[in-house]
């Protein structure tokens, strides 16, 4: 009798175990797939370029890259899209993600065609087409985990601290700083490639764009180092990539290296080589050649920047002030970081 009861109990336990395992596997199979497999995910950053938002542009550019790395996808981040273009392309599936300030207004025609992710920083969200819930779930699940990682906190500090030179000047007596910009690693790498002090390259970038990756001048110079399409064409680099920080710094460094080489070949001393290269970078080689010729006509030395600057100031103080500002910032950077 006892043995029969024990057999019944054992059978019940086995049945309960089988049921529990079935429920477990059923639960596992029913779990949603948070991945979004795609070779390429096309994105656009439609954040206003005002001073208050510029850090969010670079931050989200890197954040999109981190999401792509997690999903094994290439994030094709297109140039800035003004107006309704980004929403039209998102609704038509030409774009997968639009990074957007939720405090701004979406054109009425597209308002019901999009869904928003959870906020990624302040009011910034990633918008997807209404039918693309798998991508939306993947973004939300990934970001909810990623924002708790140490790398995310380091990334936030890199982008959302101040890089104002007046602030750094106040720190001179307080010891070295840890970084100059969110792009220090890129700047160091490309400066090392041409044997240039990375702090000088950082000073150029600061005065060209204030470390704003989607900066664009009235002359259509683009990105961190304000590179023009004609320069990209000369070096065989796609113009659509000029807002990419790595590509932009690489291209600007290549151009500056060529300018340095040209003036070294003229036999100028090292200080004038840098100043003439900066002048050519700012105003163009043609303008510099004219000002040097004018300096010679005035009885000044066309191989000495201080003399050539006199010729420049007959028309404008922009280029002399540009060079002075960069060298002042470079000297500051030399004091506060190795």
pLDDT per position as a tens digit, 87-113: 999 999 999 999 999 888 888 888 899
Instruction: Check pLDDT > 80 for residue 12.
Output: no
pLDDT score for 49: 65
pLDDT score for 51: 66
Band (pLDDT 50/70/90 cuts) for residue 126 is very high
pLDDT score for 168: 85
Q: Can you tell me the mean pLDDT for 76-97?
A: 89
At 279-327, the pLDDT tens digits run: 999 999 999 999 999 999 999 999 999 999 999 999 999 999 999 999 9
Give the integer Cα–Cα distance in Å for 90 and 35: 20
Contacts of 159 (CB under 8 A, 6+ apart): 55, 56, 58, 59, 62, 182
- List own/partner pairs for 216-221 with CB under 8 A and 24 or more apart: 216/49, 216/80
Query: What's phi and psi for 112, nearest 5 deg?
Result: -90, 5
From residue 13, how far is each of 10, 21, 121, 207 by CA, in Å?
5, 12, 51, 74
Query: What's phi and psi for 246, nearest 5 deg?
Result: -65, -50
Of the spans 27-31, 53-57, 139-143, which averages the highest pLDDT?
Answer: 139-143
Look at the alpha carbons of 229, 233, 237, 239 in this order and tell me if their dihedral is positive or negative: positive
Which has the higher per-residue pLDDT, 332 or 161? 332
Q: H helices of the chain, where? A: 2-30, 54-71, 85-91, 133-146, 150-160, 165-170, 184-193, 198-209, 229-234, 245-265, 270-283, 285-297, 305-312, 318-336
Low-confidence winner among 15-29, 39-53, 233-247, 258-272 (lowest mean pLDDT): 15-29
Q: Can you tell me the mean pLDDT for 19-25?
A: 40
Which has the higher per-residue pLDDT, 186 or 32? 186
Contacts of 113 (CB under 8 A, 6+ apart): 87, 90, 91, 129, 130
Among 159, 44, 41, smallest CA distance to 100 is for 44
pLDDT score for 282: 97
Residue 40 forms beta bridges with which residues? 74
Band (pLDDT 50/70/90 cuts) for residue 3 is low
Q: Can you tell me the mean pLDDT for 226-245?
A: 95
Query: Structural domain boundaries of the chain?
Result: 40-154, 165-336
Instruction: Check pLDDT > 60 for residue 37.
Output: yes
Query: What's phi and psi for 129, nearest 5 deg?
Result: -65, 145
CA max distance for the chain:
123
**CATH domain 40-154 topology:** D-Maltodextrin-Binding Protein; domain 2 (3.40.190)
Instruction: Check pLDDT > 50 for residue 29.
Output: no
At 127-186, the pLDDT tens digits run: 999 999 999 999 999 999 999 999 999 999 999 988 888 888 887 788 888 899 999 999
Give the integer Cα–Cα distance in Å for 205 and 251: 12
- Say yes or no: domain 165-336 is CATH 1.10.530.10: yes
Tokens of 193: 């490639």
* pLDDT over 70 percentage in the chain: 88
* pLDDT over 90 percentage in the chain: 72
């Amino acid at each position: 009798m006892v043995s029969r009861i024990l057999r019944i109990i054992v059978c019940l336990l086995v049945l309960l175990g089988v049921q529990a395992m079935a429920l477990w596997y059923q639960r596992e199979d029913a779990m949603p797939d948070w991945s979004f497999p795609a070779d390429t995910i096309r994105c656009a950053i439609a954040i206003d370029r005002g001073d208050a938002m510029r850090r969010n542009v670079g931050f989200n550019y890197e954040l999109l890259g981190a999401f792509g790395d997690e999903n094994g996808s290439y994030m094709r981040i297109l140039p800035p899209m003004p107006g309704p273009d980004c929403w039209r392309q998102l609704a038509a599936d030409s774009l997968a993600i639009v990074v957007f300030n939720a405090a701004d207004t979406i054109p009425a025609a597209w308002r019901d065609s999009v869904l928003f992710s959870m906020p990624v920083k302040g009011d910034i969200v990633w918008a997807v087409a209404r039918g693309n819930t798998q991508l939306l779930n993947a973004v939300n699940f990934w970001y909810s985990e990623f924002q708790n990682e140490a790398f995310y906190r380091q990334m936030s500090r890199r982008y959302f601290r101040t890089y104002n030179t007046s602030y750094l000047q106040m720190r001179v007596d307080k010891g070295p700083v840890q970084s100059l910009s969110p792009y220090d690693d890129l700047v160091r790498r490309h400066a090392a490639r041409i044997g240039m002090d990375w702090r000088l390259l950082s000073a150029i970038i600061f005065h060209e764009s204030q470390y704003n990756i989607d900066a664009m001048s009235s002359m259509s110079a683009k990105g961190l180092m304000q590179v023009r399409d004609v320069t990209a064409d000369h070096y065989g680099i796609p113009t659509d990539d000029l807002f990419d920080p790595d590509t932009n710094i690489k291209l600007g460094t290549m151009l500056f290296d060529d300018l340095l080489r040209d003036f070294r070949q003229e036999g100028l001393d090292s200080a004038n080589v840098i100043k003439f290269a900066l002048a050519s970078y700012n105003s163009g080689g043609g303008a510099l050649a004219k000002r040097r010729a004018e300096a010679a006509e005035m009885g000044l030395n066309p191989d000495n920047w201080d003399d050539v600057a006199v010729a420049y100031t007959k028309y404008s103080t922009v280029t002399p002030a540009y060079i002075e500002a960069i060298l002042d910032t470079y000297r500051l950077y030399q004091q506060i970081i190795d």
